[in-house]
Chain A
Amino acid sequence: MNSKEVIAARVAEELKDGDIVNAGIGIPTLVPNFIPADLDVFLHSENGILGVGPTPEDDKIDENIINAGKKPVTVKEGASYFDSASSFAMIRGGHVDVSILGALEVDETGQISNWAVPGKPVLGVGGAMDLLEGSKKIFITITHTTKDGQPKIVKQNKYPLTSLRKADLIITDLAVFKVTDNGLVLSEIFPNSSMQEVKEKTEGAFYIDEKLKST
């Protein structure tokens, strides 16, 4: 598995039977590939689908079935279509159990930035703020550092915040952090990494779970 697949596979372990899940663009789109077949997990797409299925083969693409990233998808048995106002009533109204989102940065309190870059015109927000506001749980999937090696978990975000609401869980290609009222807690280090590497590549402060200290 490449590093993005490692992240997607790990976040899939957090999903439970019956969960309504919205998966954003980027790494989150890989998550459905790792959901165990014996779990009924229902994927919600902002543009008006509950019950999104796998990506179709090229010769089976239906141009009228796309996800929020405007990519062709399929629907599963039991799926439904609805208008955009109903879709966001589901999101803001607290009917979506989990949103799995990418981010440009996460600060040490768990607040995220994933919609605007300073110095560039701010012309797109989409459903990012609604998902962060209304989902029962927010799982953030990010590579631990940027392509230039800069930490994405920082003391303070330099990009504009998406919401004051904090994430619940942050999963990177190196480690897992829980977000608590006291700040970030490192709860897991993947076998390909080490405590030293996580410390070196994380700018924001974090606590270390007792379980990790004892091993």
Chain B
Amino acid sequence: MDKTIVMTKAVSMIKSGDTLMVGGFGLVGCPLKLIKGMEDTSLKDLTIISNNLGEPGKGLGRLVLQKKVHKGIGSFFTSNPDVVSAYQNKELDIDLMPQGTLAESIRAGGAGIGGFYVKTGYGTKIAEGEEVRYIKGEPYLFQESIRANVALIKAHKADRFGNLIYLKSARNFNPIMATAADLVIAEVDEIVEVGDLSPEEIVTPHLFVDYLVLAGGD
């Protein structure tokens, strides 16, 4: 079994209107080659679940400039002024979540959990209209889990089965997004032989990963 495919094949599996999870914190741990590949397509109306929508003219920020993104779901968009202006021009919807709630929604979505209760945000503007439940006397907000059609993630090394390890703080949202989509494509710096990664060091076991794309390959 070899899950390696070329980038254009990976991008061809994404459809207009899809909900995508895209790994990364800013540009670190972001699958930049796959995003670049999407620039040269006619994809549109995408909903993107990612902590940020790239930076001005970089990463997901380029897809925003191309108006391919219909909605962003994440925690921090203010560092990209292009996202702010697209929102103000009503070209882009935004669903803002506290970063921990975003991460846990993804984790839960990948773990077969329908939703959970979380204290974060209770009593603030972000909680308007949300269901509140008291647990052991303390107020919690209900949060549904989230899943996507496709997750585009970035890892450091993979073996041919799709076992993944990550590099330093480029791990961030990638391991949880690997669990929470119908189709998971991992962009990696290097593909090694099965057995080269020790079972102890593997962070994402291969059953979560459908395809591999080499960051420096075709």
User: Which of A120-128, A189-197, A201-209 is found at the contact surface with chain B?
Assistant: A120-128
Residue contact A124 to B168, C-beta cutoff 8 Å: no
- Min CB distance A47 to B, Å, is 4
Mask of B107-137 contacts with A, CB within 8 angstroms, 1/0: 1000000000011111111100000000000
Mask of A20-58 contacts with B, CB within 8 angstroms, 1/0: 000000000000000000000000011111000000000
Looking at B26, B166, B172, the one whose CB has the most chain A CB atoms below 10 A away is B172
The answer, yes or no, to whether B99 is at the interface (CB within 8 Å) is yes
- Min CB distance A112 to B, Å, is 11
User: Which of B9-17, B61-69, B79-87, B190-198 is found at the contact surface with chain A?
Assistant: B79-87
- Nearest B residue to A131, CB-CB: B100
By secondary structure, the A interface counts as loop
The answer, yes or no, to whether B174 is at the interface (CB within 8 Å) is yes
- Nearest B residue to A70, CB-CB: B26
> Which residues of A are found within 8 Å of B142, using beta-carbon distances?
none
Residue contact A163 to B99, C-beta cutoff 8 Å: no
Given A126-B76, A129-B121, CB of A64 within 8 Å of CB of B25: no
Residue contact B99 to A84, C-beta cutoff 8 Å: yes
Mask of A52-88 contacts with B, CB within 8 angstroms, 1/0: 0000000000111110001000010000011111011
- Min CB distance A158 to B, Å, is 13
The answer, yes or no, to whether A92 is at the interface (CB within 8 Å) is yes
The answer, yes or no, to whether B104 is at the interface (CB within 8 Å) is yes
> Which residues of B are found within 8 Å of A12, using beta-carbon distances?
none
Report B2-38 residues with CB < 8 Å from chain A CB: 25-26, 28-29
- Min CB distance B22 to A, Å, is 13
Determine the distance from Cα of A62 to Cα of B169 in the docked complex, in whole angstroms: 10
Known: A70-B26, A128-B98, A129-B120. 12 other contacts (CB 8 A): A70-B79, A82-B171, A85-B104, A88-B99, A121-B87, A123-B87, A125-B96, A125-B97, A127-B75, A130-B99, A130-B120, A133-B120
The chain A residues found within 8 Å of chain B, CB to CB, are: 45-49, 62-66, 70, 75, 81-85, 87-89, 91-92, 116, 121-130, 133-134, 160-164
The chain B residues found within 8 Å of chain A, CB to CB, are: 25-26, 28-29, 51, 75-79, 83-84, 87-88, 94, 96-104, 106-107, 118-126, 166-176, 203
Q: Report 6 cross-chain contacts, Cβ distance below 8 Å, ordered by A residue.
A: A48-B169, A83-B172, A88-B103, A123-B87, A127-B98, A161-B125
